[in-house]
Amino acid sequence: MAYRVAVYNAISASGLARMASPHYAVGKALAEPDAILLRSHALQLSEIPATVKAIARAGAGVNNIPVDEMSHRGVPVFNAPGANANAVKELVIAAILLAARNVVPALGYVQALADTPDFEKRVEDGKKQFAGVEIRGRTLGIIGLGAIGGLVADTAIRLGMKVLGFDPEITVDNAWRLPASVKRAGSIEDVLKGSDFVTLHLPLNGHTRHLIGRERLAVARKGLVLLNFARDAIVEEAAVLGALADKRVGAYFCDFPSPTLRGHANVVALPHLGASTEEAEENCAVMVVDQLKAFLEEGTVANAVNFPSVEMARESPHRIAISNANVPNMVGQISTTMAQAGLNIHNMVNKSKGEMAYTLVDLDSAAAPEVLARIANIPGVLSVRAIPPISGAAK
């Protein structure tokens, strides 16, 4: 069989090359696809037919994908966490250095000077207003200590900075990767009070929207440099402009231009450059395509924002994948339906994540279409599919 993959946006050739086989048909906005692969395209429900079994974004954020609706359909949404982390980290460090030395306004000053006989004198006279600070010994606050935040912390420490971090939902793996010298803050307010620079590395959701607003900025250390290379709406723009006006915030560096911010002397808004490197785009595409292929070919789930991670070595050519609501007795009902059809379960794994559960089952014989239909009709089952080996034989 050939899996049909609809592509939106320009995806790295290195990623697309991994689907260069007779088992895949890949095309721009392909009709009736089995999967959708995209970057920044704002995916509408009308663009997601019932044939879609998975959606993959070659990047970290999934705000351009209707994740909740896909969960209700039993469709996993894959992303590539960490694949662009180094690119974002380097841009954040560059922004810290630009801010510390007032490079952007200094450059603007020089570019605006007229070519007159006293040019050099005006350069020397004007440079005093752009005197900056060295970052060594300064405190960098990091809110969000995932893949990017951890890399920023490590690099900042190597540059001689002190690091104050806050992340109440930090994973065990990310905690282990953090440098031991990172000081843990008790709250966001503590980070804002205790830092010369603060950088944000959080996903945008209902809890983080306008996380940095007027009340929190009111307690910030005077002259704070705020950096947002995560998501625009994590910061309330009006609150930042107010804090800039009363000099509570000294500068705002972000990756999200807007009419509100444009032209402000103490705002540097870049045009979404965070992951815009050849290396990051390639890493994201390769990572997410591999995850998509593993799901389509084996039912394996890794780095899905709405599904649990599930992997099971294939021991039979007769594999079934089932997405269902995480409610009691689902596994029992599925197993009973199979037993009633005379099917023997060779191996099985079931895992859950929040309200979603996912089950892989290897059978000793093939399940007839009517058996799959009976499983699909169990209340709470969202999707069912048989997954033949790509080669036609068990691996």
**393 alpha carbon, distance to own chain's centre:** 36
Element (H, E) at 250: strand 249-254
Report the predicted TM-score, pTM, of the whole model to 2 decimal places. Answer: 0.79
Sort residue 17 into left (φ over 0), alpha (ψ -120 to 50) or beta.
alpha
Q: Which of 274, 240, 269, 266 is nearest to 256 (CA)?
A: 269
Q: Are 177 and 150 in contact (CB under 8 A)?
A: yes
Confidence at residue 329, expressed as pLDDT on a 0 to 100 scale = 94
Give phi and psi for 178, each to the nearest 5. Answer: -70, 140
Cβ atoms within 10 A of the Cβ of 8, count?
18
- Residues linked to residue 35 through DSSP beta bridges, in sequence order: 5, 54
Confidence at residue 391, expressed as pLDDT on a 0 to 100 scale = 65
User: What totals of helices (H) and strands (E) does the chain contain, helices first?
Assistant: 13, 16
- Spell out the domains of the chain, with CATH numbers in brackets: 1-83+277-304 (3.40.50.720), 85-269 (3.40.50.720), 308-395 (3.30.70.260)
Q: Which of 36, 7, 53, 22 is nearest to 386 (CA)?
A: 53
Q: 285-299 burial, b if ≥16 CB within 10 A, otherwise e?
A: bbbbbbbbbebbbbb
Confidence at residue 255, expressed as pLDDT on a 0 to 100 scale = 97
Cβ atoms within 10 A of the Cβ of 339, count?
11
Gap between the Cα atoms of 89 and 244, Å rounded: 25
pLDDT per position in the chain (395 positions), as tens? 799 999 999 999 999 999 999 999 999 989 999 999 999 999 999 999 999 999 999 988 898 999 999 999 999 999 998 899 999 999 999 999 999 999 999 999 999 999 999 999 999 999 999 999 999 999 999 999 999 999 999 999 999 999 999 999 898 888 988 999 999 999 999 999 999 999 999 988 899 999 999 999 999 999 999 999 999 999 999 999 999 999 999 999 999 999 999 999 999 999 999 988 999 999 999 999 999 999 999 999 999 999 999 999 999 999 999 999 999 999 999 999 999 999 999 999 999 999 999 999 999 999 999 999 999 999 999 999 999 998 644 43
